[in-house]
Structure 1
Amino acid sequence: MSLHFYLLGIGGIGMSALAGLLKARGFQVSGSEGAPPSPPASQVLKRLGLIPFCGWDPERLEKISPDYVVVGNAIRRDHPEVEAARRQGLPLLSLPETLKRFILPGKLPLVVAGTHGKTTTSALLAFVLERLGQEPTFFLGGLLRDRELNFGSGEGPYAVVEGDEYDSAFFEKTPKFWHYRAFSAILTSLEYDHADIYPDLASLEAAFRTFVELLPEEGLLVFWGDADRLVRLAERSRARRVSYGRSPKNTYRLLERTPFPRGQKVRFCGPQGEGTFDLPLYGEHNALNALAVLALLVELGLSPEEVARALGEFCGVLRRQEILYQGRVTVVDDFAHHPTAVRETLLALKEAFSPRRIFLIFEPRTNTSRRRVFLSAYQEVLSLAEAVVLKPPPGLEKVPEAERLDLTALARGLEARGRRVGFLQNGVSDILALEPSPGDLLVFMSSASFGKIYTDLVKALKERGL
């Protein structure tokens, strides 16, 4: 009889990937969620044939009697199913500890860490390894578009893991990426985030410092060398160090980007000389993400020509620069929520589409986005759009008032910069009130799905001949 894992909070995107990996290894999997899961996790669970238990029921664990209860990091210690598990003496595990103990043994973990670009870079890395016949195992925070899954269980030597710096569980207040004991890593960036658990940048930087110090001497650290903070961090690692970026001091240099309708051509140089690759993603930040993947894989011994070819075939990730509709107007969905990610994504979309105007539908949903720490930064970066529709996030009232993002103040700051501002309260009509016309670009940005509004908007645009 195989082990049975009960995933408490199975509707999270990371938990859905863990469920897939556990099932692929032959384990039994079940789980619960407070409400029916939303996309994209619900899509993964449906593909897996997993129907989560809806609502919390302490008696359920007595009936199921799993071998392990895996606790999502949003679950509190007083949760009724946690208390039931403890009464029964069931072992509690965090998601990263479960990966470490049951998925990663026998693999060489390649961990992608950083404030920005983790999902896209991890997906690129997993996709290229797969294309090159390496049969990787992978755990991602987004769904690959070609299969609409966020995990893969391969027989090859490498395991690609998106390395989150958020804490692991209420009983394990350590960053997730410490657990994975990376053999090699990509470090894309480091800016302040997760204000709910890191009081300042220094505390966040300390978490990353430990991560790079855990890399083994025989491993490899590929880091963005244009950021002094990352250069200093990299110096703390025993692993071999390779940098990438724009500056001539980097081991792998981004020399030139040439946009084309569905992406860009990237020219670079490295120890092997100059080369190029096509990339079906927009923006300099994604050119750098791809260059990091190329640097890691070439340094691990793969052919630079084969890596470059595979990068050009990349399928993309759902909710990362995802084109939902392209008629006389274009509609794009993106996960960006940190001010830097918002800025870089909007600049990339401007470069790609040369729109007449950008209308941005923005939801500050993450624990940090809902706090006032980014108020002035949001006022600046959201003004890259000509009009902004703000969606009040759920749970905003739970943030202490002194720390809470003031959406009215955000709107006033945008209006002072000459931008039109509205609120998403009545559905698609609030977006149509901006009167989109040919040549406009409508961009959704949130860490969560906007649900039915996508299809409602596309239908309305088609009815208007747009």
Structure 2
Amino acid sequence: MLLPSADIRHLHLIGICGTAMGALAVLLKERGFRVTGSDNAVYPPMSEVLRDHEIRVAPAYSPDNITPRPDLVVIGNALSRGNEEVEAVLERKIPFVSLPEALREFFIRGSTSIVVTGTHGKTTTSSLLAWILDFAGLQPGFMIGGVPANFGVGARKGSGRFFVSEGDEYDTAFFDKRSKFLHYLPDIVIVNNIEFDHADIFRDIGEIELSFRRLLNIIPRNGLVVANRDDSRVVRLTEHTWPPKVTFSLSGDANWQARNVCGTACGTAFDLVGPFGQVTCELPLFGRHNVSNALAVAAVCAHAGMSLEQIRDGMRSFKGVRRRLEKLYDAHEIVLYDDFAHHPTAITETLRGVKAAHHGSRVWAIFEPRSNTTVRRFFQTELADALAHGDVVRLGALHRNDKIPESERLDIARLVSDLRERGADAESVPDVSRLSEEIASHARAGDVIVVMSNGGFGGLTGLLRDALEKRFGASESAT
């Protein structure tokens, strides 16, 4: 759908306080539209961001919120039939779109669209790519599901020819069950990895592969596919592509390779080897998985005309992403990280990266089973294998366990037992306050604490940071 933007002056966003919806609202406001919205969870920091941009937000869903009638309504993915404001939009025949459609028509169309996909690493890869393009003066627009520290915001309309989108395979809206990334008019697509996830909407890995096939089939012949040769599914799905393809690998036999990878006190060093030469890079991120992400970024940046030296310097100045192994506390040889990991593979890579960076440290793995996949038994064994990379494992409460039939629910007691069999000091501590107190009271010099959740974990990181400061003193540094 090509929206007649000349006739659109007032947009109303239902579910405006979601991270992506709020970012879209700000972008639309910056483009000069009148923007309003509604949500039943109007809390900081998003409420403050919207207020600062003079965007009026109704604190509850109601048909009154769309009087006077807006020109276009954007309905967030958290909304479904039965919501009284959504029902009013349908009854009054007000034009409506999903967030991906709005992003496409108001910001992506007319640009060179770069879509970063994969089960893991999308946010970090998108953030690194947007930053290096910006570092080179290309001023890209972007929409990212996190906050890159170099920018301080998760979205920007940009003034250059590139637009970077974090390409999520999750569905679009209650009225459109296609993957979000199918809306983004892809010119350049990074395919990092493909694993099973989103058990609430995909029945098996075959359905996920089908979404990726559909994405690859809509890239124009003058576009580009950037494919990870270390992932067997990616190799198979990208064997034949309409546009040209470049590959990357940590193990060789690819257009872009990393050699001599080694952990440093501040991240990871490696030799970046590409079709145009070789350069030594210092990436301020831990773990080989982030080196793989960096290879994909290098391939796109070189395609955009950047030199290896520009790519190297951009990597070195990258400041990371909030909630992607974000350091929240560092004092008396005790470090606290906050991380978004929730899939077993991501948990494994995160903990391996931490252990490589903090050699010899006791690592606490604090995990909240929260995603629609990890609250189910699908990853019962895989979660035990992943979390066992921690020395001390503490499990939070199963998120919304009343919504999952008991026969499908992750068995926390069995997970604790399996972790103990693997040698970990494991316990389930559902109460967040008690969990914070236990960690802070038993922490000792040399400990590294990694809190992992794709949600808020009941405010655990804030409670834990306060408890550590009370016992050990203020943090010496946090990045």
Q: TM-score, with normalisation over the residues of structure 1?
A: 0.95
- In 1, Cα distance between the equivalents of 2:147 and 2:123? 9
The corresponding residue for 2:111 is 107
- Would the aligned equivalents of 2:112 and 2:161 in 1 still touch at CA under 8 Å? yes
Q: 1:461 to 1:15 in 2, by over 3 A?
A: same
The corresponding residue for 1:32 is 38
SS of the equivalent of 1:144 reads coil
- Output aligned runs, 1:10-29, within 5 Å: 10-29=16-35
State the AA in 1 paired with 2:12: Y
The corresponding residue for 2:231 is 227
Write the deviation string for residues 111-160 of structure 1: whole angstroms up to 9, x where unpaired. Answer: 00010100000001111111111111100000122343101121110000
- Would the aligned equivalents of 1:2 and 1:26 in 2 still touch at CA under 8 Å? no
Given the alignment of the two structures, is residue 193 of structure 1 paired with residue 197 of structure 2, yes or no? yes
SS of the equivalent of 2:465 reads helix
Deviation at 1:236, TM superposition (A): 3.5
Deviation at 1:355, TM superposition (A): 4.9
Q: Number of residues paired by the alignment? A: 464
- Output aligned runs, 1:257-276, within 5 Å: 257-276=261-280
Q: 1:48 to 1:400 in 2, by over 3 A?
A: farther
- Output aligned runs, 1:178-189, within 5 Å: 178-189=182-193
Given the alignment of the two structures, is residue 303 of structure 1 paired with residue 291 of structure 2, yes or no? no
Deviation at 1:15, TM superposition (A): 1.2
Q: 1:451 to 1:241 in 2, by over 3 A?
A: same
What is the Cα-based RMSD across aligned positions, in Å?
1.8
The corresponding residue for 1:319 is 323
Write the deviation string for residues 413-464 of structure 1: whole angstroms up to 9, x where unpaired. Answer: 2233332333344334324325111111111100112364323322222332
Given the alignment of the two structures, is residue 217 of structure 1 paired with residue 224 of structure 2, yes or no? no
> Which stretch of structure 1 is more off in the superposition, 418-427 or 184-193?
418-427
> Which stretch of structure 1 is more off in the superposition, 110-119 or 247-256?
247-256
The corresponding residue for 1:366 is 371
SS of the equivalent of 1:146 reads coil
SS of the equivalent of 1:364 reads coil
State the AA in 2 paired with 1:161: S
- Output aligned runs, 1:342-353, within 5 Å: 342-353=347-358
Given the alignment of the two structures, is residue 438 of structure 1 paired with residue 445 of structure 2, yes or no? yes
- In 1, Cα distance between the equivalents of 2:346 and 2:54? 34
What percentage of residue pairs aligned between the two structures are identical? 39
Deviation at 1:49, TM superposition (A): 4.3
Gaps of 5+ in 1: none
The corresponding residue for 2:343 is 338
Q: 1:4 to 1:423 in 2, by over 3 A?
A: farther
- In 1, Cα distance between the equivalents of 2:224 and 2:13? 33
SS of the equivalent of 2:172 reads strand
Q: TM-score, with normalisation over the residues of structure 2?
A: 0.93
- In 2, Cα distance between the equivalents of 1:10 and 1:255? 45
Given the alignment of the two structures, is residue 247 of structure 1 paired with residue 251 of structure 2, yes or no? yes
1:294 aligns with one of 298, 311, 317? 298
Given the alignment of the two structures, is residue 454 of structure 1 paired with residue 456 of structure 2, yes or no? no
- In 1, Cα distance between the equivalents of 2:230 and 2:48? 38
Gaps of 5+ in 2: 1-6, 474-479
- In 2, Cα distance between the equivalents of 1:389 and 1:442? 11
The corresponding residue for 1:354 is 359
- Would the aligned equivalents of 1:139 and 1:152 in 2 still touch at CA under 8 Å? yes
- In 2, Cα distance between the equivalents of 1:423 and 1:43? 35
The corresponding residue for 1:6 is 12
State the AA in 2 paired with 1:145: A
2:381 aligns with one of 363, 369, 376? 376
- In 2, Cα distance between the equivalents of 1:112 and 1:368? 22
- In 2, Cα distance between the equivalents of 1:197 and 1:180? 20
Q: 1:410 to 1:45 in 2, by over 3 A?
A: farther
- Would the aligned equivalents of 2:15 and 2:79 in 1 still touch at CA under 8 Å? yes
